[in-house]
Amino acid sequence: MKQVPDFARCDAFWSREEVDRPLLSCWVGSFAVVEHYVQGMVSLPNGELKPGDLDFEQFRPDYERLFAAHQAAGVDVPWAAFPMMTLPWVEAIIGCPIHHRNGNIWADHWLNTYDRLGEIELKPGNPWLERLLEFTDWLVELSDGRFPVAVSLMRGPLDLLSAVRGPERMCLDLFDYPEQLDGVLDRLTNIWIQVAHAQLARIPAFEGGYSFSVISLWGHRPGGWFQDDAVALWSPRYYRRYLRACEERLSGCMEATGIHLHPASLFVIEDLVALPDLDVIEVNLEEMGPTLEEMIPYLNRVLEVKNLVVWGDFTAADFLLMKEHLPTRGLALQLMGPTPEEVRARVDEVAKIWCE
């Protein structure tokens, strides 16, 4: 069964209409994202990666396979292609050496002293940014109007600070270099915005709208997600002192914006729902907890004022819990399953539970 996007349901999600069930998107596979690019990853050399090491054509079978798998899942939101999420693009753009070994890719930190802060800048012709934009252009050509193209996975300013300094130093900087943090986070926020806009300028509309990338949404306004997973290493006090203003800027830097959260970062919910330009908050449901039942008060708080996406490998009990405790107005679920058939079974389960 091929996917037929339900753009009317997508519109109802954004306008927060009362609907019979949540909007449905999907993620076929696991959180082990390297498995999504089996063919392309094999083509990468071990060692430090350079922009020229990426041969886009090696990734063609991966993208075609992902497109076919998601088409077969039968969800409401069209699948979108975006430059491989296994590569930390913005970390590379800000100077982190990028290493690959047998399918694992990581960014090395390099800012060993704040005396080098001036080196965090986006110069014309940045080779990693150029390669990212070339990848985006290649995906647009590959799509040929069959599916939308979206911006890459882009980690936010605190994640980028963790990349250039290392997570331990990033925490110690709160006490050792507090006066430097505003400046470095401001620089990283500026670069994030520039990289996002550079990609959006290359991405055409799809059926009169645009995709949001990794967490699958489609709407009439172009935009995308940001995330700061490293906020889990800070306290609410330091989040509000140093990072909240940066995320407020990110939430208003595109026509439509969303933030991705892990459950460990739910303590920022009250701050996020107060950001006037933030459109949607996404929260993962994860095995290590908290449970969905424990998360319900936070999810309801989001739905009072913002749109919400919950992403997880849901059970029937999870669906029943959400039906009982969450409104469908402004709610979307990103369904996970190892195969299109298993995702399709979850789609049918949602219809049965919400619509009977």
Q: Where are the domains of the chain?
A: 7-355
* Percent of the chain's residues with pLDDT above 70: 99
- Across the strands, what pairs with 335? 26, 312
Tell whether the model's pLDDT for residue 344 goes beyond 60. Answer: yes
Note the CATH architecture for domain 7-355: Alpha-Beta Barrel (3.20)
- Counting other chains too, the contacts that 88-91 makes at CB distance below 8 Å and 24 or more residues apart are 88/155, 88/163, 89/128, 89/132, 89/152, 89/153, 89/154, 89/195, 90/154, 90/155, 90/160, 90/191, 90/192, 90/195, 91/155, 91/160, 91/163, 91/164
* Percent of the chain's residues with pLDDT above 90: 94
Give the pLDDT of residue 355: 85
Give residue 314's pLDDT band: very low, low, confident or very high (50, 70, 90). very high
Give residue 216's pLDDT band: very low, low, confident or very high (50, 70, 90). very high
Residue-wise pLDDT for 128-180, tens only, equals: 999 999 999 999 999 999 999 999 999 999 999 999 999 999 999 999 999 99
Tell whether the model's pLDDT for residue 1 goes beyond 70. Answer: no
Tell whether the model's pLDDT for residue 207 goes beyond 90. Answer: yes
Average pLDDT over every residue of 252-261 = 97
Q: What is the pTM of this model?
A: 0.96
Average pLDDT over every residue of 207-211 = 97
Residue-wise pLDDT for 101-132, tens only, equals: 998 999 999 999 999 999 999 999 999 999 99
| Average of per-residue pLDDT values in the chain | 96
